[in-house]
Amino acid sequence: MGPGWSIARRLFLANALFIIAMTVFVGTAAFVDARDRGFVATEERMLSVASTIADNPLVQDASRTADPSAVLQPYALAVTADASLDFITIMSPDRTRWTHPTESEIGQPYIGAVEPALSGEAFTEVTTGTLGPSVRAVVPVTDDDGTVLALVAAGVKTSNLSIALSARLPAVLGVALILLAAGTVAAWFLGRYLSRVTLGWGPEQLAQLFVYYDSVLHSVREGLVLVGLTGEVVLYNDQAARLLGLPPRPMGAERASAAATTTQSLDRLNLPPALSDLLQSGRPTLDEIYVTDERVLVVSQQPALKPGSGRTKPAPMGWVATIRDHTDLQSLDSELRLMRTLSDALRAQTHEHANRLHTIVSLMELGRGAEALDFATQDLELSQQLTDDMIDSVDEPVLSALLMGKFAQASELGVLLTVEAAGTLAESGLSAQDLVTVVGNLVDNALDAAAGGEAPRRVHLAVTSTGTAVVIEVADSGPGVAPDAVTDILRRGYSTKEPGTFGRGLGLALVRQTVNRLGGSLGISRRDGAVFTVTLPWQPAPSRAADEPGLATRTTGFHG
Protein backbone atom coordinates (compact mmCIF):
# COMPACT_ATOMS: atom_id res chain seq x y z
CA MET A 1 0.00 0.00 0.00
CA GLY A 2 1.38 3.38 -0.99
CA PRO A 3 2.28 5.84 1.79
CA GLY A 4 -0.06 8.41 0.25
CA TRP A 5 -3.12 6.16 0.28
CA SER A 6 -6.03 7.25 2.41
CA ILE A 7 -7.41 5.18 5.24
CA ALA A 8 -10.56 4.53 3.18
CA ARG A 9 -8.61 3.12 0.21
CA ARG A 10 -6.46 0.96 2.47
CA LEU A 11 -9.49 -0.36 4.29
CA PHE A 12 -11.27 -1.11 1.01
CA LEU A 13 -8.30 -3.06 -0.35
CA ALA A 14 -7.71 -4.90 2.92
CA ASN A 15 -11.39 -5.75 3.20
CA ALA A 16 -11.50 -6.94 -0.43
CA LEU A 17 -8.47 -9.20 0.13
CA PHE A 18 -10.02 -10.49 3.33
CA ILE A 19 -13.33 -11.22 1.59
CA ILE A 20 -11.52 -13.02 -1.25
CA ALA A 21 -9.52 -15.08 1.24
CA MET A 22 -12.65 -15.88 3.22
CA THR A 23 -14.51 -16.78 0.03
CA VAL A 24 -11.75 -19.16 -1.04
CA PHE A 25 -11.63 -20.66 2.43
CA VAL A 26 -15.41 -21.05 2.72
CA GLY A 27 -15.66 -22.39 -0.84
CA THR A 28 -12.89 -24.91 -0.25
CA ALA A 29 -14.37 -25.93 3.07
CA ALA A 30 -17.80 -26.33 1.47
CA PHE A 31 -16.39 -28.43 -1.36
CA VAL A 32 -14.36 -30.63 0.98
CA ASP A 33 -17.38 -31.08 3.20
CA ALA A 34 -19.52 -31.99 0.21
CA ARG A 35 -16.85 -34.45 -0.96
CA ASP A 36 -16.61 -36.07 2.46
CA ARG A 37 -20.35 -36.27 2.75
CA GLY A 38 -20.50 -37.76 -0.76
CA PHE A 39 -17.98 -40.47 0.10
CA VAL A 40 -19.81 -41.30 3.33
CA ALA A 41 -23.17 -41.48 1.52
CA THR A 42 -21.65 -43.63 -1.23
CA GLU A 43 -20.09 -46.00 1.29
CA GLU A 44 -23.44 -46.34 3.05
CA ARG A 45 -25.19 -47.01 -0.25
CA MET A 46 -22.59 -49.60 -1.32
CA LEU A 47 -22.90 -51.31 2.03
CA SER A 48 -26.68 -51.39 1.71
CA VAL A 49 -26.59 -52.86 -1.82
CA ALA A 50 -23.95 -55.46 -0.92
CA SER A 51 -25.87 -56.48 2.21
CA THR A 52 -29.08 -56.89 0.19
CA ILE A 53 -27.33 -59.11 -2.36
CA ALA A 54 -25.68 -61.17 0.41
CA ASP A 55 -29.06 -61.79 2.04
CA ASN A 56 -30.62 -63.00 -1.23
CA PRO A 57 -31.24 -66.85 -1.04
CA LEU A 58 -30.32 -67.02 -4.72
CA VAL A 59 -26.75 -66.12 -3.89
CA GLN A 60 -26.61 -68.56 -0.99
CA ASP A 61 -27.94 -71.44 -3.11
CA ALA A 62 -25.72 -70.64 -6.08
CA SER A 63 -22.62 -70.57 -3.88
CA ARG A 64 -23.21 -74.29 -3.11
CA THR A 65 -23.34 -75.34 -6.78
CA ALA A 66 -20.44 -76.50 -8.91
CA ASP A 67 -20.71 -73.50 -11.31
CA PRO A 68 -21.93 -70.40 -9.38
CA SER A 69 -21.02 -68.03 -12.25
CA ALA A 70 -23.72 -69.45 -14.49
CA VAL A 71 -26.43 -68.25 -12.13
CA LEU A 72 -24.81 -65.22 -10.45
CA GLN A 73 -23.20 -63.43 -13.45
CA PRO A 74 -26.50 -62.46 -15.12
CA TYR A 75 -27.96 -61.52 -11.76
CA ALA A 76 -24.95 -59.31 -10.86
CA LEU A 77 -25.02 -57.53 -14.22
CA ALA A 78 -28.74 -56.80 -13.87
CA VAL A 79 -28.39 -55.40 -10.34
CA THR A 80 -25.34 -53.35 -11.38
CA ALA A 81 -27.32 -51.68 -14.12
CA ASP A 82 -30.43 -51.14 -11.98
CA ALA A 83 -28.48 -49.69 -9.00
CA SER A 84 -26.21 -47.48 -11.18
CA LEU A 85 -23.10 -49.19 -9.87
CA ASP A 86 -19.79 -49.76 -11.61
CA PHE A 87 -19.35 -53.33 -10.45
CA ILE A 88 -20.73 -56.12 -8.27
CA THR A 89 -18.28 -58.91 -7.60
CA ILE A 90 -19.41 -62.14 -5.94
CA MET A 91 -16.50 -64.38 -5.01
CA SER A 92 -15.61 -67.49 -3.12
CA PRO A 93 -13.90 -67.24 0.26
CA ASP A 94 -10.56 -67.86 -1.47
CA ARG A 95 -11.01 -64.60 -3.57
CA THR A 96 -11.95 -66.38 -6.80
CA ARG A 97 -14.36 -64.15 -8.72
CA TRP A 98 -17.69 -65.66 -9.77
CA THR A 99 -18.97 -62.40 -11.28
CA HIS A 100 -17.35 -59.32 -12.82
CA PRO A 101 -18.34 -56.66 -15.38
CA THR A 102 -15.48 -57.90 -17.53
CA GLU A 103 -15.99 -61.55 -18.51
CA SER A 104 -12.26 -62.27 -18.71
CA GLU A 105 -11.82 -61.38 -15.02
CA ILE A 106 -14.18 -64.19 -13.89
CA GLY A 107 -12.13 -66.91 -12.21
CA GLN A 108 -9.33 -64.47 -11.39
CA PRO A 109 -8.49 -63.54 -7.78
CA TYR A 110 -10.24 -60.53 -6.29
CA ILE A 111 -7.99 -57.45 -5.70
CA GLY A 112 -8.69 -55.84 -2.33
CA ALA A 113 -9.08 -56.60 1.34
CA VAL A 114 -11.42 -59.44 2.41
CA GLU A 115 -10.10 -60.38 5.86
CA PRO A 116 -12.78 -58.57 7.91
CA ALA A 117 -15.51 -60.13 5.74
CA LEU A 118 -14.02 -63.62 6.20
CA SER A 119 -14.41 -63.01 9.92
CA GLY A 120 -18.12 -62.32 9.36
CA GLU A 121 -17.89 -58.47 9.47
CA ALA A 122 -18.99 -56.18 6.63
CA PHE A 123 -16.73 -53.18 5.85
CA THR A 124 -16.08 -50.40 3.32
CA GLU A 125 -12.89 -49.11 1.73
CA VAL A 126 -11.45 -46.92 -1.02
CA THR A 127 -8.97 -48.88 -3.07
CA THR A 128 -7.78 -49.50 -6.63
CA GLY A 129 -8.92 -52.57 -8.51
CA THR A 130 -9.07 -53.69 -12.13
CA LEU A 131 -11.46 -50.83 -12.97
CA GLY A 132 -9.39 -48.21 -11.17
CA PRO A 133 -9.90 -46.37 -7.83
CA SER A 134 -13.31 -47.08 -6.34
CA VAL A 135 -15.43 -46.84 -3.22
CA ARG A 136 -16.61 -50.33 -2.33
CA ALA A 137 -18.30 -52.38 0.38
CA VAL A 138 -17.54 -56.05 1.10
CA VAL A 139 -20.19 -58.18 2.88
CA PRO A 140 -19.96 -61.93 3.79
CA VAL A 141 -22.61 -64.45 2.62
CA THR A 142 -23.25 -66.84 5.53
CA ASP A 143 -25.50 -69.83 6.19
CA ASP A 144 -27.60 -70.41 9.26
CA ASP A 145 -24.56 -71.64 11.18
CA GLY A 146 -22.56 -68.49 10.35
CA THR A 147 -20.25 -70.25 7.92
CA VAL A 148 -18.97 -67.85 5.23
CA LEU A 149 -20.13 -69.27 1.89
CA ALA A 150 -19.12 -66.36 -0.34
CA LEU A 151 -18.27 -62.65 -0.37
CA VAL A 152 -20.11 -59.80 -2.13
CA ALA A 153 -18.26 -56.61 -3.20
CA ALA A 154 -20.24 -53.64 -4.61
CA GLY A 155 -18.69 -50.34 -5.63
CA VAL A 156 -18.50 -47.24 -7.83
CA LYS A 157 -15.41 -45.68 -9.35
CA THR A 158 -14.17 -42.45 -7.69
CA SER A 159 -14.21 -40.68 -11.06
CA ASN A 160 -17.96 -41.09 -11.22
CA LEU A 161 -18.22 -39.87 -7.66
CA SER A 162 -16.16 -36.75 -8.52
CA ILE A 163 -18.49 -36.00 -11.39
CA ALA A 164 -21.43 -36.16 -9.03
CA LEU A 165 -19.69 -33.86 -6.59
CA SER A 166 -18.78 -31.40 -9.35
CA ALA A 167 -22.48 -30.91 -9.94
CA ARG A 168 -22.52 -29.05 -6.60
CA LEU A 169 -19.59 -26.80 -7.50
CA PRO A 170 -21.72 -24.10 -9.22
CA ALA A 171 -23.79 -23.67 -6.04
CA VAL A 172 -20.63 -23.35 -3.94
CA LEU A 173 -19.14 -20.83 -6.38
CA GLY A 174 -22.42 -18.90 -6.42
CA VAL A 175 -22.40 -18.55 -2.63
CA ALA A 176 -18.74 -17.48 -2.74
CA LEU A 177 -19.45 -14.80 -5.37
CA ILE A 178 -22.42 -13.49 -3.35
CA LEU A 179 -20.19 -13.19 -0.28
CA LEU A 180 -17.52 -11.42 -2.32
CA ALA A 181 -20.01 -8.97 -3.82
CA ALA A 182 -21.68 -8.22 -0.47
CA GLY A 183 -18.32 -7.70 1.25
CA THR A 184 -17.10 -5.43 -1.53
CA VAL A 185 -20.22 -3.25 -1.37
CA ALA A 186 -19.95 -3.05 2.43
CA ALA A 187 -16.26 -2.11 2.14
CA TRP A 188 -17.12 0.57 -0.41
CA PHE A 189 -19.74 2.22 1.80
CA LEU A 190 -17.43 2.02 4.83
CA GLY A 191 -14.61 3.47 2.75
CA ARG A 192 -16.76 6.42 1.69
CA TYR A 193 -17.66 7.09 5.32
CA LEU A 194 -14.03 6.95 6.45
CA SER A 195 -12.96 9.12 3.51
CA ARG A 196 -15.49 11.74 4.62
CA VAL A 197 -14.61 11.74 8.32
CA THR A 198 -10.82 11.61 7.75
CA LEU A 199 -10.88 14.15 4.90
CA GLY A 200 -9.23 11.59 2.62
CA TRP A 201 -5.98 11.59 4.64
CA GLY A 202 -3.80 8.57 5.29
CA PRO A 203 -2.66 7.35 8.73
CA GLU A 204 0.84 8.79 8.23
CA GLN A 205 -0.63 12.21 7.47
CA LEU A 206 -2.97 12.01 10.45
CA ALA A 207 -0.11 10.96 12.75
CA GLN A 208 2.03 13.83 11.45
CA LEU A 209 -0.87 16.24 11.88
CA PHE A 210 -1.36 15.05 15.45
CA VAL A 211 2.33 15.67 16.21
CA TYR A 212 2.12 19.17 14.70
CA TYR A 213 -1.04 20.06 16.60
CA ASP A 214 0.38 18.67 19.82
CA SER A 215 3.49 20.80 19.36
CA VAL A 216 1.33 23.86 18.69
CA LEU A 217 -0.71 23.23 21.83
CA HIS A 218 2.52 23.00 23.82
CA SER A 219 4.11 26.12 22.41
CA VAL A 220 1.19 28.53 22.14
CA ARG A 221 1.14 31.12 24.93
CA GLU A 222 -2.64 31.42 24.99
CA GLY A 223 -4.89 28.96 26.75
CA LEU A 224 -7.00 26.82 24.39
CA VAL A 225 -10.07 24.86 25.49
CA LEU A 226 -12.12 22.67 23.12
CA VAL A 227 -15.63 21.90 24.39
CA GLY A 228 -17.90 19.30 22.75
CA LEU A 229 -21.58 19.67 21.96
CA THR A 230 -22.45 17.73 25.14
CA GLY A 231 -20.66 20.28 27.34
CA GLU A 232 -17.58 18.14 28.00
CA VAL A 233 -14.01 19.40 27.76
CA VAL A 234 -12.48 17.44 24.89
CA LEU A 235 -9.05 19.06 24.89
CA TYR A 236 -7.09 21.84 26.54
CA ASN A 237 -3.43 22.85 26.41
CA ASP A 238 -0.88 23.36 29.17
CA GLN A 239 -1.43 27.12 29.34
CA ALA A 240 -5.18 26.63 29.86
CA ALA A 241 -4.45 24.14 32.63
CA ARG A 242 -2.21 26.68 34.32
CA LEU A 243 -4.61 29.62 33.96
CA LEU A 244 -7.74 27.71 35.02
CA GLY A 245 -6.17 25.40 37.60
CA LEU A 246 -7.10 22.24 35.65
CA PRO A 247 -5.37 18.85 36.04
CA PRO A 248 -2.20 18.59 33.92
CA ARG A 249 -2.59 16.94 30.54
CA PRO A 250 -0.94 13.54 29.85
CA MET A 251 2.11 13.46 27.62
CA GLY A 252 2.93 11.80 24.27
CA ALA A 253 1.21 8.52 23.47
CA GLU A 254 -0.55 8.61 26.84
CA ARG A 255 -2.21 11.84 25.74
CA ALA A 256 -3.49 10.26 22.51
CA SER A 257 -4.98 7.27 24.32
CA ALA A 258 -6.43 9.44 27.07
CA ALA A 259 -7.97 11.84 24.57
CA ALA A 260 -9.62 8.92 22.79
CA THR A 261 -11.18 7.44 25.91
CA THR A 262 -11.74 10.18 28.48
CA THR A 263 -13.35 13.59 28.63
CA GLN A 264 -14.11 15.86 31.55
CA SER A 265 -17.39 17.51 32.33
CA LEU A 266 -17.36 21.25 32.90
CA ASP A 267 -19.38 20.71 36.07
CA ARG A 268 -16.51 18.69 37.57
CA LEU A 269 -13.87 21.33 36.87
CA ASN A 270 -13.28 24.07 39.41
CA LEU A 271 -13.94 26.97 37.05
CA PRO A 272 -15.29 30.43 37.92
CA PRO A 273 -19.10 30.30 37.57
CA ALA A 274 -19.24 33.01 34.91
CA LEU A 275 -16.56 31.33 32.78
CA SER A 276 -18.18 27.91 33.19
CA ASP A 277 -21.51 29.37 32.04
CA LEU A 278 -19.83 30.83 28.94
CA LEU A 279 -18.16 27.54 27.98
CA GLN A 280 -21.38 25.58 28.48
CA SER A 281 -23.46 28.03 26.44
CA GLY A 282 -21.23 27.98 23.36
CA ARG A 283 -21.99 31.67 22.87
CA PRO A 284 -19.62 33.35 20.39
CA THR A 285 -17.78 36.19 22.05
CA LEU A 286 -14.68 38.32 21.56
CA ASP A 287 -12.35 39.55 24.32
CA GLU A 288 -14.67 39.25 27.31
CA ILE A 289 -12.99 39.86 30.65
CA TYR A 290 -13.37 37.36 33.51
CA VAL A 291 -11.79 37.76 36.93
CA THR A 292 -10.84 34.70 38.98
CA ASP A 293 -9.51 34.65 42.52
CA GLU A 294 -5.97 35.17 41.23
CA ARG A 295 -6.10 36.27 37.59
CA VAL A 296 -7.70 38.62 35.09
CA LEU A 297 -8.55 36.60 31.96
CA VAL A 298 -9.59 37.77 28.49
CA VAL A 299 -11.71 35.07 26.80
CA SER A 300 -12.80 34.70 23.17
CA GLN A 301 -15.01 31.84 21.94
CA GLN A 302 -16.01 30.67 18.47
CA PRO A 303 -17.72 27.50 17.16
CA ALA A 304 -15.59 24.67 15.74
CA LEU A 305 -17.18 23.80 12.38
CA LYS A 306 -17.02 20.57 10.42
CA PRO A 307 -15.63 20.91 6.90
CA GLY A 308 -18.62 21.08 4.54
CA SER A 309 -19.21 21.27 0.84
CA GLY A 310 -20.36 24.38 -0.95
CA ARG A 311 -23.95 23.13 -0.91
CA THR A 312 -24.22 22.43 2.79
CA LYS A 313 -23.68 24.73 5.72
CA PRO A 314 -20.86 23.54 8.02
CA ALA A 315 -22.24 21.96 11.18
CA PRO A 316 -20.65 22.81 14.57
CA MET A 317 -18.67 20.07 16.31
CA GLY A 318 -18.29 22.11 19.49
CA TRP A 319 -16.58 25.39 20.30
CA VAL A 320 -13.07 26.64 20.94
CA ALA A 321 -12.24 29.16 23.66
CA THR A 322 -8.97 31.09 23.75
CA ILE A 323 -7.85 32.47 27.11
CA ARG A 324 -5.26 35.19 27.62
CA ASP A 325 -3.75 36.20 30.94
CA HIS A 326 -4.05 39.95 31.47
CA THR A 327 -3.19 39.90 35.17
CA ASP A 328 0.15 41.63 34.73
CA LEU A 329 -1.33 44.06 32.22
CA GLN A 330 -4.19 44.88 34.57
CA SER A 331 -1.75 45.40 37.43
CA LEU A 332 0.19 47.82 35.28
CA ASP A 333 -3.10 49.50 34.37
CA SER A 334 -3.96 49.87 38.06
CA GLU A 335 -0.57 51.38 38.72
CA LEU A 336 -0.97 53.67 35.71
CA ARG A 337 -4.39 54.80 36.93
CA LEU A 338 -2.85 55.54 40.33
CA MET A 339 -0.17 57.65 38.66
CA ARG A 340 -2.87 59.31 36.55
CA THR A 341 -4.85 60.13 39.68
CA LEU A 342 -1.78 61.71 41.23
CA SER A 343 -1.00 63.64 38.04
CA ASP A 344 -4.61 64.85 37.90
CA ALA A 345 -4.25 65.97 41.48
CA LEU A 346 -1.04 67.83 40.65
CA ARG A 347 -2.70 69.35 37.58
CA ALA A 348 -5.67 70.52 39.63
CA GLN A 349 -3.41 71.90 42.34
CA THR A 350 -1.25 73.60 39.69
CA HIS A 351 -4.36 75.22 38.25
CA GLU A 352 -5.48 76.39 41.69
CA HIS A 353 -2.02 77.65 42.59
CA ALA A 354 -1.83 79.54 39.29
CA ASN A 355 -5.09 81.34 40.13
CA ARG A 356 -3.84 82.13 43.60
CA LEU A 357 -0.48 83.39 42.33
CA HIS A 358 -2.29 85.62 39.85
CA THR A 359 -4.36 87.00 42.73
CA ILE A 360 -1.26 87.62 44.85
CA VAL A 361 0.60 89.27 41.95
CA SER A 362 -2.41 91.49 41.19
CA LEU A 363 -2.69 92.58 44.83
CA MET A 364 1.00 93.44 44.88
CA GLU A 365 0.70 95.40 41.63
CA LEU A 366 -2.13 97.34 43.21
CA GLY A 367 0.14 98.22 46.12
CA ARG A 368 -1.73 96.03 48.60
CA GLY A 369 1.27 94.03 49.86
CA ALA A 370 -0.19 93.39 53.29
CA GLU A 371 -3.37 91.89 51.86
CA ALA A 372 -1.31 89.77 49.42
CA LEU A 373 0.78 88.41 52.28
CA ASP A 374 -2.31 87.68 54.34
CA PHE A 375 -3.97 85.84 51.41
CA ALA A 376 -0.84 83.73 50.75
CA THR A 377 -0.50 82.88 54.45
CA GLN A 378 -4.12 81.69 54.72
CA ASP A 379 -3.82 79.59 51.53
CA LEU A 380 -0.65 77.94 52.80
CA GLU A 381 -2.29 77.16 56.12
CA LEU A 382 -5.28 75.53 54.41
CA SER A 383 -3.10 73.35 52.16
CA GLN A 384 -0.82 72.36 55.01
CA GLN A 385 -3.79 71.57 57.24
CA LEU A 386 -5.23 69.23 54.58
CA THR A 387 -1.87 67.48 54.20
CA ASP A 388 -1.38 67.21 57.95
CA ASP A 389 -4.89 65.86 58.42
CA MET A 390 -4.29 63.15 55.82
CA ILE A 391 -0.93 62.16 57.29
CA ASP A 392 -2.33 62.11 60.80
CA SER A 393 -5.43 60.11 59.92
CA VAL A 394 -3.88 57.59 57.50
CA ASP A 395 -0.43 56.35 58.51
CA GLU A 396 0.26 54.65 55.15
CA PRO A 397 2.16 57.16 52.94
CA VAL A 398 1.15 55.59 49.62
CA LEU A 399 -2.51 55.52 50.64
CA SER A 400 -2.25 59.12 51.85
CA ALA A 401 -0.83 60.17 48.48
CA LEU A 402 -3.66 58.36 46.73
CA LEU A 403 -6.27 60.12 48.84
CA MET A 404 -4.67 63.51 48.23
CA GLY A 405 -5.17 62.89 44.53
CA LYS A 406 -8.74 61.72 45.14
CA PHE A 407 -9.45 65.00 46.99
CA ALA A 408 -8.41 66.95 43.91
CA GLN A 409 -10.42 64.62 41.67
CA ALA A 410 -13.47 65.01 43.91
CA SER A 411 -13.08 68.76 43.84
CA GLU A 412 -13.17 68.76 40.04
CA LEU A 413 -16.29 66.56 40.05
CA GLY A 414 -18.03 68.78 42.58
CA VAL A 415 -18.14 66.00 45.17
CA LEU A 416 -17.33 66.45 48.85
CA LEU A 417 -14.90 63.70 49.89
CA THR A 418 -14.42 63.11 53.61
CA VAL A 419 -12.01 60.65 55.20
CA GLU A 420 -12.24 59.16 58.68
CA ALA A 421 -9.52 56.88 60.01
CA ALA A 422 -9.01 55.07 63.30
CA GLY A 423 -6.18 52.78 64.38
CA THR A 424 -2.94 52.05 62.60
CA LEU A 425 -2.30 50.33 59.31
CA ALA A 426 1.45 49.95 59.83
CA GLU A 427 1.09 46.78 61.91
CA SER A 428 -1.71 45.16 59.84
CA GLY A 429 0.68 43.38 57.49
CA LEU A 430 -1.39 44.52 54.49
CA SER A 431 0.66 45.71 51.55
CA ALA A 432 0.26 49.26 50.31
CA GLN A 433 -0.59 47.92 46.85
CA ASP A 434 -3.51 45.86 48.16
CA LEU A 435 -4.83 48.83 50.13
CA VAL A 436 -4.51 51.06 47.06
CA THR A 437 -6.35 48.48 44.92
CA VAL A 438 -9.25 48.23 47.35
CA VAL A 439 -9.54 51.88 48.41
CA GLY A 440 -8.72 53.34 44.99
CA ASN A 441 -11.33 51.30 43.09
CA LEU A 442 -14.03 51.74 45.73
CA VAL A 443 -13.48 55.52 45.90
CA ASP A 444 -13.40 55.79 42.09
CA ASN A 445 -16.73 53.98 41.82
CA ALA A 446 -18.18 56.09 44.62
CA LEU A 447 -17.05 59.37 43.01
CA ASP A 448 -18.58 58.32 39.67
CA ALA A 449 -21.84 57.35 41.39
CA ALA A 450 -22.01 60.55 43.48
CA ALA A 451 -21.16 62.77 40.50
CA GLY A 452 -24.12 61.30 38.61
CA GLY A 453 -26.51 61.77 41.53
CA GLU A 454 -28.35 64.72 42.99
CA ALA A 455 -26.83 67.40 45.22
CA PRO A 456 -25.43 67.42 47.77
CA ARG A 457 -22.86 65.05 46.30
CA ARG A 458 -20.82 63.33 49.00
CA VAL A 459 -18.45 60.41 49.41
CA HIS A 460 -17.30 59.27 52.83
CA LEU A 461 -14.35 56.92 53.40
CA ALA A 462 -13.85 55.29 56.81
CA VAL A 463 -10.74 53.16 57.49
CA THR A 464 -10.68 51.39 60.84
CA SER A 465 -8.01 49.05 62.19
CA THR A 466 -9.34 46.95 65.08
CA GLY A 467 -6.15 45.07 65.91
CA THR A 468 -7.27 41.91 64.12
CA ALA A 469 -8.77 43.30 60.93
CA VAL A 470 -8.96 46.43 58.79
CA VAL A 471 -12.47 47.61 57.92
CA ILE A 472 -12.83 49.88 54.90
CA GLU A 473 -16.23 51.51 54.32
CA VAL A 474 -17.02 53.69 51.33
CA ALA A 475 -20.43 55.39 51.19
CA ASP A 476 -21.73 57.66 48.44
CA SER A 477 -24.81 59.76 47.78
CA GLY A 478 -25.44 58.18 44.38
CA PRO A 479 -28.46 56.12 43.28
CA GLY A 480 -27.24 52.99 45.07
CA VAL A 481 -27.19 49.38 43.88
CA ALA A 482 -30.38 47.54 43.00
CA PRO A 483 -30.89 44.43 45.18
CA ASP A 484 -31.14 42.15 42.16
CA ALA A 485 -27.81 43.46 40.81
CA VAL A 486 -25.73 42.65 43.90
CA THR A 487 -24.90 39.11 42.77
CA ASP A 488 -23.84 40.29 39.30
CA ILE A 489 -21.67 43.01 40.81
CA LEU A 490 -19.71 40.56 42.93
CA ARG A 491 -19.51 37.96 40.20
CA ARG A 492 -18.70 39.86 37.02
CA GLY A 493 -17.88 43.39 38.14
CA TYR A 494 -20.00 46.49 37.83
CA SER A 495 -19.57 49.83 36.15
CA THR A 496 -21.59 52.97 35.65
CA LYS A 497 -19.31 54.05 32.81
CA GLU A 498 -20.40 54.08 29.23
CA PRO A 499 -19.89 50.83 27.25
CA GLY A 500 -16.52 50.68 25.56
CA THR A 501 -14.67 52.55 28.33
CA PHE A 502 -11.27 50.99 28.97
CA GLY A 503 -11.27 48.92 32.14
CA ARG A 504 -15.04 48.93 32.31
CA GLY A 505 -16.41 46.48 34.89
CA LEU A 506 -13.02 45.61 36.41
CA GLY A 507 -12.93 47.85 39.49
CA LEU A 508 -15.16 45.82 41.80
CA ALA A 509 -13.93 42.57 40.25
CA LEU A 510 -10.35 43.47 41.21
CA VAL A 511 -11.52 44.44 44.67
CA ARG A 512 -13.27 41.07 45.04
CA GLN A 513 -10.17 39.27 43.78
CA THR A 514 -7.96 41.02 46.34
CA VAL A 515 -10.45 40.44 49.16
CA ASN A 516 -10.74 36.74 48.37
CA ARG A 517 -6.97 36.33 48.16
CA LEU A 518 -6.50 37.97 51.55
CA GLY A 519 -9.30 35.94 53.13
CA GLY A 520 -11.57 38.92 53.73
CA SER A 521 -15.20 39.76 52.99
CA LEU A 522 -17.03 42.27 50.81
CA GLY A 523 -20.54 43.49 51.61
CA ILE A 524 -22.93 45.83 49.81
CA SER A 525 -25.70 47.72 51.61
CA ARG A 526 -27.62 50.97 51.24
CA ARG A 527 -27.82 54.16 53.24
CA ASP A 528 -28.32 57.40 51.28
CA GLY A 529 -26.67 55.62 48.38
CA ALA A 530 -24.49 52.55 48.09
CA VAL A 531 -22.27 51.46 50.97
CA PHE A 532 -19.39 49.06 50.29
CA THR A 533 -17.81 47.45 53.34
CA VAL A 534 -14.57 45.47 53.05
CA THR A 535 -13.09 43.57 55.99
CA LEU A 536 -9.48 42.44 55.61
CA PRO A 537 -7.89 40.32 58.35
CA TRP A 538 -4.41 41.27 59.48
CA GLN A 539 -1.77 39.38 57.53
CA PRO A 540 1.35 37.62 58.87
CA ALA A 541 4.37 39.86 59.13
CA PRO A 542 6.29 39.93 55.81
CA SER A 543 9.92 38.90 55.59
CA ARG A 544 12.71 41.48 55.69
CA ALA A 545 13.23 41.15 51.95
CA ALA A 546 9.60 42.01 51.37
CA ASP A 547 9.91 45.08 53.64
CA GLU A 548 12.77 46.54 51.66
CA PRO A 549 11.59 49.37 49.40
CA GLY A 550 12.09 49.20 45.67
CA LEU A 551 10.40 48.89 42.34
CA ALA A 552 10.46 45.07 42.32
CA THR A 553 8.54 44.88 45.58
CA ARG A 554 5.93 47.38 44.39
CA THR A 555 5.44 45.61 41.07
CA THR A 556 5.05 42.20 42.69
CA GLY A 557 2.42 43.54 45.02
CA PHE A 558 0.32 44.73 42.08
CA HIS A 559 0.22 41.24 40.58
CA GLY A 560 -2.39 40.20 43.12
How many domains is the chain built from? Answer: 3
Domain at 489, CATH number: 3.30.565.10
The answer to whether residues 256 and 313 belong to one domain is: yes
Tell me whether the omega of the peptide bond preceding residue 456 falls within 30 degrees of 0, making it cis.
Answer: yes
Does a structural domain hold residue 184?
A: no
The answer to whether residues 352 and 309 belong to one domain is: no
Instruction: Note the pLDDT of residue 256.
Output: 44
Of 283, 302, 325, the residue at which a domain comes to its end is: 325
Between β-strands 148-157 and 296-305, what pairing exists: parallel, antiparallel or unpaired?
unpaired
CA–CA gap between residue 97 and residue 488 (Å, rounded): 115
Instruction: Note the pLDDT of residue 150.
Output: 92
The answer to whether residues 404 and 522 belong to one domain is: yes
Does a structural domain hold residue 182?
A: no
Does a structural domain hold residue 189?
A: no
Instruction: Note the pLDDT of residue 452.
Output: 82
The pTM for the full model equals 0.46
The answer to whether residues 385 and 501 belong to one domain is: yes
Collapsed DSSP state (helix, strand, coil) of residue 28: helix
Contact 505, 493 (CB under 8 A): yes
The answer to whether residues 291 and 242 belong to one domain is: yes
Instruction: Note the pLDDT of residue 348.
Output: 60
The answer to whether residues 457 and 405 belong to one domain is: yes
Q: Which residue from 297, 329, 323 is spatially nearest to 220, judged by alpha carbons?
A: 323
- Give the distance, in angstroms, between the CA of residue 448 and the centroid of all CA atoms in the same chain: 47
The answer to whether residues 224 and 368 belong to one domain is: no
User: Which stretches in the chain have pLDDT values below 70?
Assistant: 1-8, 159-169, 172, 197-208, 210, 215, 249-264, 267, 293-294, 306-314, 327-335, 337-353, 355-356, 378-395, 486-506, 541-560
The answer to whether residues 120 and 249 belong to one domain is: no
Q: Tell me which residue range forms the domain holding 54.
A: 7-166
CA–CA gap between residue 76 and residue 89 (Å, rounded): 7
Instruction: Note the pLDDT of residue 152.
Output: 92
The answer to whether residues 309 and 384 belong to one domain is: no
The answer to whether residues 343 and 304 belong to one domain is: no
218-223: list long-range contacts, CB under 8 Å, 24+ apart.
Answer: 222/322, 222/323, 222/324, 223/321, 223/322, 223/323, 223/324, 223/325
Instruction: Note the pLDDT of residue 555.
Output: 25
Scored b (16 or more CB within 10 A) or e, 107-120 reads eeebebebeebeee
Contact 80, 102 (CB under 8 A): no
Domain at 56, CATH number: 3.30.450.20
Instruction: Note the pLDDT of residue 259.
Output: 43
